[in-house]
Each structure stands twice: as C-alpha cells, then as structure tokens.
Amino acid sequence: MRDFDLIVFGATGFTGRLVAEAILEFPEPGLRWAIAGRSQKKLEDVRSALAERFPEAQDLPLLVADVTKPETMDDLACRARVVCTTVGPFTVLGGALVQACVRHGTDYCDITGEVGWMRSVIDAHHNEAVDKKCRVVHAAGFDSIPFDLGVVVAQKAAVAKWGAPAERIRTVTGRMSGALSGGTLASMALIMDSARRDRSVLRQLANPYVLVPGGSGPDRNDSRRVEHWPEHKVWTAPFIMAGCNTRIVRRTHALLGMPWGDAFSYTEAMGTGRGVRGWIRAQGIRMGIAVMVVVLATPWIRRLVVGPILPKPGQGPSKESRESGHFALHVVGHRAGETIAVDVKGNGDPGYLATSRMLAQTAVSLAVDELPPTFGVLTPGSCLGDVLPDRLGRVGIRFSVRSS
C-alpha cells in the first residue's frame, strides 16, 4: 500500500496553496494526503498558515521535492496513488513529474493550459500510461473543466432527450469576474516566446485537432472576429482560453471513441451581451487581447509592467477578490433544428478559487472514485465525466440542463 492517497505538489505557490485549502475546506473522509514543494521552510510556513484556519492541518506531512532532482520525482510518484501539481510553467517544469508518475503507474493531474506541452506528453507517454494502467489528466482547472464537462453533460442530456447526440455545440461565456496570477502570466509569456522563436509552434497552436494525433474533422481554428451568435442571442469576442478548451473537448471526443459522430463540431467565444453595447464591448475585448499579446510577447515591455503593474510569479488576486469572483458559461447543442442548453455557474475567482477546487476534486476523484477503465493521457471529460459534475456541485460549481 502506498503512503498517501494524494500529494499536492507546488503547495508553496499561489494556486497550490489554494488547492491544499480546498481539500481542507471540503474534506474527503479518510483521505491520506500530503503537501510537497522544493523548500522545507516554505512548506512549514504554508502548513502553519493552513492550521490557523484548519487546525487538523498541523499534522499534514511535508515532502521536499524539486523537479530538477529526478529522484525526488520518483519519490513522490512511488509514495502516492495520485499526485496533483501546480508547478508551472509546465513546458519547463512539468515533464519530470509526468515521466515519474507514468513510470510508477501513479495517477496524475494538473492545471496546465499549455497545449504544445500536452501534445508532447501525449506523444511521449500515452502508450506507456495505457500499458501501466494509469491516468494523466491535464487541464483540470478553469481551463478546461467547465467547458469540457459542460459538453459531456450537454451530450448526455441530448442523448436522453433525442436519443442521439448534438451534432454541433457552441459555448459562450456569461458573467465573469476574476484576475490573473504571476504564474499564469509567466506561462502565457513562455508560450509566446516559443511561438516567436519557432514558427512550427504557431502552426501547432493553430491546429484545432492538435491534441488528437492524426485526427481531423470539420472545425477550423478559433474565430478572431467579433460575431453575433443567434442561438445565444449575444455578440461575441474571441475567447483567449478557446485555444486550449476546444482542443481538450476534441480530445475528449476522440478518447471516448467518437460517440458524437465524425462531423461533430465545437466552438467557443466570449459573450459580451446584446445590442450596440454588446458589440462595443466585443470590439473592446478584441482590442484588449491584442494589447495583452503585444505586452506579453515583447520582452522589454513585459519587464516594465510585470511587477509594477502585473503580478509576478507567486503573486495573484487578493482573498477578497478571489471570494467575490464568479463565472458562468452557456453550452448550446444543436441537432436537426432543435437545441439543448447547459448552464455552468461557479462561485469564486475562476482562475484561482474555482480552479483550486476543480483540481482538488479531480485529484480526490482519481484517488477514491470508481472510474471507467480508461487509461493514458486523458482529459477530465474522458475519464471523470460521470462523477466530477456531482462532486463539483458540492463545492459550488454547478452544471444545469435547460431545455429549449
């Protein structure tokens, strides 16, 4: 028997600390778990801070592990049934832990949104993870759980209602309030740096089926335009996370065995409201994204603003802002002129409070739930679609079907 059901790696970082808090806030009876990071002193400080709010945390085991020391990755992977990690940017810091987990047949989950890195993990480890009967689950945060599971829930509802899945699904974001951490900005900047240096990275990111090796289908790259989406009755702007979410949904479909048909199509955009105000907001968001790309992709501008204006790694939104945050998205499926809709709503800043709860529940689910015998480099929807929506409902993230 392994020492722990679950290890939270990266617990000294901004999001990792919140993941540990989320496990304490919504405890799973009998769960044996530990926190891990590269500094014993920082881990002790995190544990003391956690114990102020949750006295039971004072006995939490601490494990020192550094991704630059492979033997410590093996140690984490050997001692737990599941390791969840927030140690990013994953392109730089993620590989050693995935490798160790697959080698030791340990389930793994993370909150990466780095599509190029996920593809490299699929190429390097999918087959071995299938052989070892373990699960590597990427994108278990705001990108991409609400979107990926929103589609899975909508397709189950469609089959229940029509006896057949939706042929096309479109998701728009609704009311949303949240902020970015320094770690996320660092990950985004890294992707832009590598795309600037290497055009093949750009081509890879533009491929809608990049996470389905050899896969193809009707979808093109995400829209960069302001558009009116009649089924949602709103104007839309490009959605910065669509580049990850849509690829995850397509991989979910492939891993499930293409149950929604070869012609299944999925797209996403940011909803900006109705009428002229919705159109103006959409134009503003489109321009805002262009400015953000220039800032993050230009190292000298980045140096000027990261720190004084934008958060540095380790920093992120305040407790007050995390707790007052919220999100909503609307998933609409179509078949033969009929529609089915799923609303996904969550409390808390989507990128941090809600993300930490999503990762915590994903990890706990991998550790304790009865799951289908699906192994390899997976997506949340492909292995946790039957259990995670209910778990998330208990931590304030709800999926509700609305027929129309």
Ligand X SMILES: NC(=O)c1ccc[n+]([C@@H]2O[C@H](COP(=O)([O-])OP(=O)(O)OC[C@H]3O[C@@H](n4cnc5c(N)ncnc54)[C@H](OP(=O)(O)O)[C@@H]3O)[C@@H](O)[C@H]2O)c1
Contact positions vs ligand X (CB under 6 A): 10, 12-16, 37-39, 42, 66-68, 86-90, 93, 111, 113, 141-143, 181-184, 187, 313-314, 316, 351, 355
- Rounded Cα distance between 158 and 143, Å, is 24
- State the Cα–Cα distance between residues 159 and 174, nearest whole angstrom: 25
Exposure string over 260-287, b if 16+ CB within 10 A, otherwise e: beeebbbbbbbbbbeeeebbebbeebbe
Minimum Å gap between C-beta 259 and ligand X is 26
Q: Which is nearer to ligand X, 165 or 316 (CB)?
A: 316
Instruction: Using alpha carbons, select from 28, 65, 89, 36 the residue that is nearest to residue 360.
Output: 28
d(CA 170, CA 334): 9
Check if the beta carbon of residue 346 is closer than 8 Å to that of residue 398: yes
Angle of CA points 155, 140, 284, to nearest 5°: 80
Smallest distance from the beta carbon of 37 to ligand X, in angstroms?
5
Q: Where are the beta strands (DSSP E) in 183-325?
A: 227-229, 234-237, 265-273
Closest contact distance (angstroms) between CB of 83 and ligand X is: 12
Smallest separation (angstroms) from ligand X to the CB of 47: 13
Cβ closest to ligand X, residue 339 vs residue 379: 379
Q: Is the CB of 182 or the CB of 217 nearer to ligand X?
A: 182
The nearer residue to ligand X, 118 or 234, going by C-beta atoms, is: 118
| Beta carbon of residue 246, minimum distance to ligand X (angstroms, whole number) | 15
Q: Least distance in Å: CB of 391 to ligand X?
A: 17
Residue number with CB closer to ligand X (67 or 234): 67
Task: Starting at the earlier edge strand, list the strands of the sheet with 80-85.
Answer: 62-64, 33-37, 4-9, 80-85, 107-110, 135-137, 376-378
> Closest approach of Cβ 214 to ligand X, in Å?
26
Contact status, residue 356 vs residue 197, Cβ threshold 8 Å? no
Instruction: Name the residue nearer to ligand X (CB basis): 13 or 150.
Output: 13
> Dmax of the chain from CA atoms?
62
Burial class (CB within 10 angstroms; exposed 0-12, middle 13-18, buried 19+) of 54: middle
Least gap, CB of 203 to ligand X (angstroms) = 22
